Structure formats: structure tokens, C-alpha cells
């Protein structure tokens, strides 16, 4: 574990405050876990059955296998793919909930939500083969929502997932069919994977990994439909200007943090807050101030320009400001410790989803059928909490940075289209072919306190930009850049290489935006990474190459969650090189580790590499991008 806790100055100030009041944060708890158990850390601890835990002790007679005889490769493969199952379940369930609401809207049962982006509905309908010609919008919507819901329950293994089929290039579909990883249904694939990895079922690591990749493709599918249907319900983001860091919390306002992942409630809170400013004023505040944490924050940032307070590892520190009146949380990446942090202050932690409760915190059962009323009641709880705020305890770091975000695929193509209206994607392909930019990298994923908070994200961004690599970003990685002041035009001037600067100059001249474009294009939350893959699919098509040939690398410099394992895995199946900034728990089996870091490239064109050192990882990323470019140039 690194000695420096965070690179974020505001977070450092709040960590000092936490120490002062005696609150142990996640940074203290991470330190307390050292030294880590080597068995768990390398993936050779099995807890799948009650005879376990079994640990692999290579030199001890009988100890080189589990009690059942499972070898290191079986144990490591099973552990790894079970991460994927967890991640794919989380993303897909998120998508299913959105689909359910969209269906209720289409059927006329739910009047609190509406279709906000009918054009997107039409595009999605056409892509997935729903008839649109001469049909009522609500009928089309019903078919789209039903098609999304059908992805979950399908059990006929001769069929294939609709979204995956509609949005992936034929060449990839063929690879997936040949390797038998093409899924039919999401629930089926996830249940099968849990079955496959039960004690005494599959011992073959390759077969287990293929089962895992099938689940990972379900993750992509669940993500894609979650993004599409959220855009239909809430609008497809366009470039927005806002700010990031704890300085976005306002001492004179009722502060509400929106934290988690699902936009169903948070979007309603944003809408309701616009109407309820007077209620906050009646309580003595200057109004209501919403800020975002993690991907719920990214959702409302992308669509509404809501400021970012902080990202995953520093969520407790938003409470330490003493000015957070309520933190409204939905699902995923919410630390249970928020409750204890809130006890030091007046903050109300409000859980809202039936599967996500924290003992001692306030649970408000969010009712989708009366979403507007639910959102209003939640805001009223925050206003009540504000009345109990002790202003003497308020200590908000005076740190915030300008952020330009909202780069959905549609928004990116719209900007490129200002230069080349007939063929927008040609703009970036031209820049690559001219050598102006070397290639593309996506910086994604979580925070992981095995390293210094936000160090790897920001160090990689600066290094890759210096090397003329065009950057996409999403999830908590995007927030790291935003918090550090990298997500604006000034950062382009400061950190971009000469070629990248030229590319930006042309884009800025044409884009017609009030603000200069930022150093990285923030595509949204972690459930929105399909926007990045769709972008790369267009690039590949325009270049006339397959996905594994595109000069593109995906990097999760501080990966942490099961979702990250699922995302990384579908990226590999898609043919992308994937950097992970922590040593993965596959290294306990040489065989499995070689499969995911080497053999995978022969089969899918994509592969993982582990590199905790940001500068070395950036150098390797540039190397991969250059190698892919050379291969394309040699062929021509």
C-alpha cells in the first residue's frame, strides 16, 4: 500500500479533519488490512464449499490442491469468473429496472416518467429490428422495452442476445459464436456460470473462462440497454459546463448528494429540486444545491450538469465537510461506513432501494409509480436535516475545478460533424492517419486504495495526452480527472502533445461551444461504457479494420469492483487491450494468468496487462497503440 493517501488536496484536508474528530475513514481501514493474505491476494483461496477455505500450498504434500482436488488453475478461474457474474448481475439488473419503468410508461401505467428523447427511441428501435414505420410512439416504446426485458428471461440457447447482436460488428459475432461464448439470455448465462463453478462441476480453466466471458458479454448487453433506455427516458447528454470537488458543496444551501448508480430516482430529485427552492429558502437556506458522487453523479452530470462532489474512495469525506444535509443513495459502490460518518454530523443517509439498506440509516422506499412525490419527500427530509446543521462544524475546502462533460456518442459525433457533416467519424480517423494523434485510450473504472487515491488515473491521463493520445473517460476515473482540474480546455494547453493540441484546435474552431473542449471526453457513468465501444466500432469500420486492429487501449488504473472485472473481460472479448492498475488475483495460477494476459490475444485479439506503476502503464499503452498503428500502415 502506498504511503501517500490521495493526490486530492480537498480530500487531504478532510482526512485531517477526520483524524481530528477521531473518525476512521476507508483510508485507515485499508491500512489496517495490511499485510494482505497472499492466498486471497493471488486468487488461490477457495471458499466455494463448506469444507473450505482451501488454500494452495504448493510444497506441502496434499496441499497443492483443494480438498476436492481442485488445482490452482481451477480455483483461480472459478474465483475470477464469479467476480464477472457479480458485475454482470449488477449492471444488468440496473438495466432491467430502467426497462421495467419504460414499459410502464409505454403502457400508460406510469405518468411520472416520460419519453424525453424520441429520436433515440427511433434509432434504438431500428437498430434492434422493431418496426417504426407509421406506428404510434408508445407502441414502438412498448416493443423496445419488451425486447429489453426479453433479454433476461430467454432460455432458448439457439437464440442470441438482441442488443449484442445489433450493436456488435459481424466479425466479432463470428468470433464469439466460434468460441461458444455468445449468450442467449442474461439470467440463463449468469445462473449457468454459478452452476458451472459449483463444487464438483467444471474443473477446466479454459471452459470456466469461456463461461465467464459469456457472462461478460451479458454485462455489455445489460449496460448497453441501460444506457439506451436511460437516454430515451431522461435525454441523451450534450456538452455541459460545471465544476468538481468538495468546493461545490455550498455553506449557505441545503446540500444533497446523489450517490450510487441508477438515474431513476436521482433524475427525479434533480427535477423536483428545481421546483422546491422556495421550501429550502423558507427553512433559512439560500436554496437547494445538488452534487454527485460516483456514477449517479455521472448520470446527472451528463444530462443536467450537476457538479461532482467527489468519487468512490472519498465519499465519506463529503460528509466530513459538515455541510452535507442528506446523501441519497441507490445501488452499488456505496460504503456502509457512510452511516458512521454521518453520526459525527447532522447528515441524513437515505437509502432508497429494496436491495440496499444500511443498518441505522434512514430507509425511504422509493416508489417508481409515484416517483415525483418520492423525490419531493426526500428533498423535504434534507431540508429538515439542514435545520439541524451546526454551522460551527462546517468546513468546506475551497477547492473546485471547471468541468466540461456530457460527451455521449451522439454529442461526440455532433462535434465531429461540424468538420465533416457527411461522415463525422472520419474526423478522428483522418487525425490518426495523418499522425496528428497516435490513437485512442479510454480511462475508466474505480478507485482502489492499494494505491494512492486518484494518482494512477491522473498520471496516466497526463502521460497519454503528452503522447498525443485522444482520451475518453468514464465512471470514477472521469471524476478523478474532473476533481483534479484535467477536464477542461486549460488542461489541453498544459498537458496535450503538439499533435493532440492541433486536433483540439480544429475541433474547437468548428464545435461552436462556449467553452473549449476538455482533455478527455467524459462519456458518462460506468454503465455507459458501451458508448465508448460503439465509438470504437465506428472507428474500426471507417478504418476498414477489425476491432483488435484499432490503435486503442482501455485502462482501469485503479480497478476495484466486480463490475470492473466484467467490463475488462468484455473489452478483451471485443479485442481490446486492457490495462489494470492493480495486480489481479489471477497470478496464483501461472496457467490462468497466461491465458488472460497472453493466450487471449490469439483467440480474441484482446488481452489484459497488470501494471500498478502509472508511468510504466502509460508507456506500455503507447507501445500497444503504436504497434497496432504500424501493423495497419504496413498492410497498406
* Candidate list 329, 526, 567, 618; residue touching Fe ion; CB under 5 A: 526
By rule CB under 6 A, what string of x and - marks binding of each residue 197-226 to ligand SF4? --x---------------------------
Closer to ligand SF4 by CB, 56 or 547: give it.
56
At closest approach, how far in Å is the CB of 51 from ligand SF4? 4
**421 by DSSP, 3-state: which?**
coil
At closest approach, how far in Å is the CB of 261 from ligand SF4? 32
Greatest alpha-carbon pair distance for the chain in Å reads 74
Q: Which three cell numbers stand for residue 160?
A: 442470441
Please work out the total of residues on this chain that contact Fe ion, with binding judged by CB under 5 A.
3
Which listed range, 44-52, 127-135, 171-179, 404-412, lies at the site for ligand SF4 (CB under 6 A)?
44-52
The answer to whether residue 66 forms part of the interface with ligand SF4 (CB under 6 A) is: yes
- Residue from 94, 313, 195, 189 nearest 570 by CA: 189
**How buried is residue 303: exposed, middle or buried, by Cβ count under 10 Å (0-12/13-18/19+)?**
buried
The answer to whether residue 567 forms part of the interface with Fe ion (CB under 5 A) is: no
At closest approach, how far in Å is the CB of 78 from ligand SF4? 8
At closest approach, how far in Å is the CB of 215 from ligand SF4? 20
At closest approach, how far in Å is the CB of 74 from ligand SF4? 8
**Positive/negative CA dihedral, 611, 617, 623, 628:** positive
Which listed range, 41-49, 216-224, 379-387, 461-469, lies at the site for ligand SF4 (CB under 6 A)?
41-49
At closest approach, how far in Å is the CB of 40 from ligand SF4? 13
At closest approach, how far in Å is the CB of 527 from ligand SF4? 32
Q: Which three cell numbers stand for residue 635?
A: 498492410
CA distance 207 to 197: 10
Burial 103-125 (b: 16+ CB within 10 A, else e): bbbbeeebebbebbbeebbbbbb
The answer to whether residue 77 forms part of the interface with ligand SF4 (CB under 6 A) is: no
**Helix, strand, coil: what percent of the chain each, to 5?**
55, 10, 35
475 binds, among ligand SF4, Fe ion, none (CB under 5 to 8 A by kind): Fe ion
Contact set for Fe ion, span 391-450 (CB under 5 A): none
Q: Which three cell numbers stand for residue 375?
A: 423525490
66 binds, among Fe ion, ligand SF4, none (CB under 5 to 8 A by kind): ligand SF4
| β-pairing verdict for 240-244 and 401-405 | antiparallel
Peptide bond before residue 35 is cis, with ω within 30 degrees of 0? yes
At closest approach, how far in Å is the CB of 526 from Fe ion? 3
Contact between 407 and 520 (Cβ < 8 Å):
no
Closer to Fe ion by CB, 297 or 548: give it.
297
In sequence order, what E strands does 406-547 have?
A: 439-443, 469-473, 520-522
Which listed range, 40-48, 371-379, 452-460, 614-622, lies at the site for ligand SF4 (CB under 6 A)?
40-48
At closest approach, how far in Å is the CB of 409 from Fe ion? 18
Enter the DSSP assignment of 241.
Answer: E
Closer to ligand SF4 by CB, 4 or 207: give it.
207
Element (H, E) at 58: none
49 binds, among Fe ion, ligand SF4, none (CB under 5 to 8 A by kind): ligand SF4
Which listed range, 68-76, 235-243, 337-345, 570-578, lies at the site for ligand SF4 (CB under 6 A)?
68-76
Q: In sequence order, what are the beta bridge partners of 351?
A: 329, 363
Closer to Fe ion by CB, 292 or 475: give it.
475
The answer to whether residue 263 forms part of the interface with Fe ion (CB under 5 A) is: no
CA distance 180 to 603: 12
Contact between 425 and 542 (Cβ < 8 Å):
yes
- Residue from 229, 179, 195 nearest 81 by CA: 195
Closer to ligand SF4 by CB, 76 or 600: give it.
76
Closer to Fe ion by CB, 436 or 558: give it.
558
70 binds, among ligand SF4, Fe ion, none (CB under 5 to 8 A by kind): ligand SF4
Q: How far is CA 491 from the centre of its chain?
A: 23
Contact set for Fe ion, span 285-304 (CB under 5 A): 295
CA distance 579 to 559: 10
397 binds, among ligand SF4, Fe ion, none (CB under 5 to 8 A by kind): none
Which listed range, 43-51, 314-322, 384-392, 417-425, lies at the site for ligand SF4 (CB under 6 A)?
43-51
At closest approach, how far in Å is the CB of 218 from ligand SF4? 24
Closer to ligand SF4 by CB, 197 or 530: give it.
197
The answer to whether residue 56 forms part of the interface with ligand SF4 (CB under 6 A) is: no
Q: Which three cell numbers stand for residue 311?
A: 468519487
295 binds, among Fe ion, ligand SF4, none (CB under 5 to 8 A by kind): Fe ion
Q: Which three cell numbers stand for residue 404?
A: 466540461
- Residue from 124, 81, 87, 83 nearest 106 by CA: 124
**How buried is residue 136: exposed, middle or buried, by Cβ count under 10 Å (0-12/13-18/19+)?**
exposed
**How buried is residue 24: exposed, middle or buried, by Cβ count under 10 Å (0-12/13-18/19+)?**
middle
Which listed range, 15-23, 62-70, 464-472, 474-482, lies at the site for ligand SF4 (CB under 6 A)?
62-70
Element (H, E) at 573: helix 562-574
156 to each of 113, 183, 208, how far by Cα in Å?
Answer: 33, 10, 21
428 binds, among ligand SF4, Fe ion, none (CB under 5 to 8 A by kind): none
* Candidate list 7, 11, 15, 54; residue touching ligand SF4; CB under 6 A: 54
Closer to ligand SF4 by CB, 52 or 247: give it.
52
The answer to whether residue 49 forms part of the interface with ligand SF4 (CB under 6 A) is: yes
Residue whose C-alpha cell is 497470478: 587
The number of residues in the chain equals 636
Query: In the complex, which residue's CB is closest to ligand SF4?
Result: 66
Closer to ligand SF4 by CB, 68 or 632: give it.
68
Q: Which residues bind Fe ion (CB under 5 A)?
A: 295, 475, 526
Q: Which residues bind ligand SF4 (CB under 6 A)?
A: 46-49, 51-54, 66-68, 70, 75, 199
Amino acid at each position: 500500500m502506498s504511503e501517500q493517501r490521495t493526490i486530492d488536496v480537498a480530500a487531504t484536508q478532510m482526512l485531517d479533519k477526520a483524524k481530528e474528530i477521531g473518525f476512521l475513514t476507508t483510508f485507515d481501514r485499508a491500512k489496517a488490512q495490511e499485510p494482505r493474505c497472499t492466498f486471497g491476494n493471488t486468487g488461490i483461496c477457495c471458499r466455494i464449499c463448506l469444507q473450505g477455505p482451501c488454500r494452495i500450498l504448493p510444497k506441502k504434500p496434499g496441499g497443492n490442491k483443494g480438498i476436492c482436488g481442485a488445482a490452482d488453475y481451477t480455483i483461480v478461474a472459478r474465483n475470477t469468473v464469479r467476480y464477472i457474474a457479480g458485475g454482470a448481475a449488477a449492471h444488468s439488473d440496473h438495466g432491467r429496472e430502467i426497462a421495467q419503468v419504460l414499459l410502464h410508461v409505454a403502457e400508460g401505467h406510469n405518468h411520472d416518467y416520460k419519453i424525453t428523447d424520441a429520436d433515440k427511441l427511433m434509432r434504438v428501435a431500428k437498430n434492434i429490428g422493431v418496426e417504426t414505420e407509421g406506428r404510434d410512439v408508445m407502441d414502438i416504446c412498448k416493443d423496445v422495452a419488451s425486447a429489453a426485458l426479453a433479454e433476461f428471461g430467454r432460455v432458448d440457447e439457439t437464440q442470441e442476445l438482441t442488443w449484442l447482436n445489433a450493436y456488435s460488428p459481424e466479425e466479432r459475432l463470428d468470433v464469439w459464436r466460434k468460441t461458444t461464448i455468445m449468450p442467449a439470455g442474461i439470467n440463463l448465462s449468469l445462473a449457468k456460470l454459478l452452476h458451472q463453478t459449483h463444487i464438483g462441476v467444471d474443473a477446466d480453466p479454459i471452459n470456466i473462462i469461456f463461461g465467464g466471458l459469456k457472462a461478460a458479454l451479458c454485462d455489455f448487453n445489460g449496460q448497453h440497454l441501460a444506457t439506451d433506455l436511460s437516454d430515451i427516458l431522461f435525454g441523451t447528454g450534450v456538452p455541459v459546463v460545471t465544476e468538481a470537488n468538495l468546493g461545490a458543496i455550498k455553506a449557505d444551501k441545503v446540500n444533497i448528494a446523489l450517490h450510487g448508480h441508477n438515474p431513476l430516482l436521482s433524475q427525479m430529485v434533480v427535477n423536483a429540486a428545481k421546483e422546491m427552492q422556495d421550501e429550502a429558502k423558507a427553512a433559512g437556506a439560500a436554496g437547494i444545491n445538488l452534487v454527485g458522487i460516483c456514477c449517479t453523479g455521472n448520470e446527472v452530470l451528463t444530462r443536467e450538469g450537476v457538479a461532482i462532489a467527489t468519487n468512490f474512495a472519498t465519499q465519506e469525506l463529503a460528509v466530513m465537510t459538515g455541510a452535507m444535509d442528506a446523501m441519497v443513495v441507490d445501488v452499488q459502490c456505496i460504503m456502509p461506513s457512510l452511516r458512521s460518518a454521518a453520526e459525527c454530523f447532522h447528515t441524513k443517509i437515505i437509502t432508497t432501494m429494496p436491495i440496499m439498506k444500511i443498518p441505522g440509516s434512514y430507509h425511504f422506499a422509493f416508489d417508481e409509480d409515484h416517483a415525483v412525490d418520492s423525490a419531493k419527500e426526500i428533498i423535504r427530509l434534507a431540508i429538515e436535516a439542514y435545520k439541524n446543521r451546526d454551522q460551527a462544524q462546517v468546513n468546506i475546502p475551497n477547492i473546485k475545478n471547471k468541468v466540461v462533460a456530457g460527451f455521449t456518442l451522439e454529442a461526440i459525433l455532433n462535434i465531429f460533424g461540424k468538420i465533416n457533416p457527411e461522415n463525422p467519424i472520419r474526423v478522428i480517423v483522418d487525425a490518426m492517419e495523418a499522425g496528428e494523434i497516435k490513437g485512442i485510450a479510454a480511462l475508466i473504472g474505480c478507485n482502489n486504495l492499494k494505491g494512492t487515491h486518484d494518482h494512477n488515473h491522473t498520471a496516466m491521463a497526463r502521460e497519454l495526452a503528452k503522447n498525443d493520445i485522444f482520451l475518453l473517460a468514464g465512471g470514477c476515473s472521469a471524476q478523478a480527472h474532473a476533481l483534479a482540474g484535467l477536464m477542461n480546455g486549460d488542461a489541453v494547453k498544459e498537458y496535450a502533445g503538439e499533435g493532440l493540441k492541433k486536433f483540439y484546435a480544429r475541433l474547437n474552431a468548428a464545435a461552436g461551444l462556449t467553452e473549449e473542449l476538455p482533455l478527455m471526453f467524459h462519456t458518462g457513468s460506468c454503465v455507459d461504457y458501451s458508448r465508448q465501444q460503439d465509438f470504437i466500432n465506428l472507428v474500426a469500420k471507417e478504418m476498414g479494420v477489425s476491432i483488435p486492429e484499432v490503435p486503442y487501449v482501455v485502462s482501469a488504473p485503479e480497478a476495484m469492483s466486480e463490475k470492473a472485472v466484467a467490463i475488462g473481460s468484455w473489452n478483451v472479448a471485443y479485442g481490446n487491450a486492457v490495462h489494470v492498475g492493480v495486480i489481479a488475483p489471477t497470478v496464483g495460477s501461472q496457467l490462468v494468468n497466461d491465458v488472460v494476459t497472453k493466450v487471449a490475444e490469439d483467440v480474441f485479439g484482446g488481452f489484459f496487462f497488470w501494471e500498478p506503476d502509472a508511468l510504466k502503464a502509460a508507456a506500455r499503452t503507447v507501445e500497444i497503440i503504436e504497434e497496432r498503428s504500424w501493423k495497419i500502415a504496413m498492410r497498406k
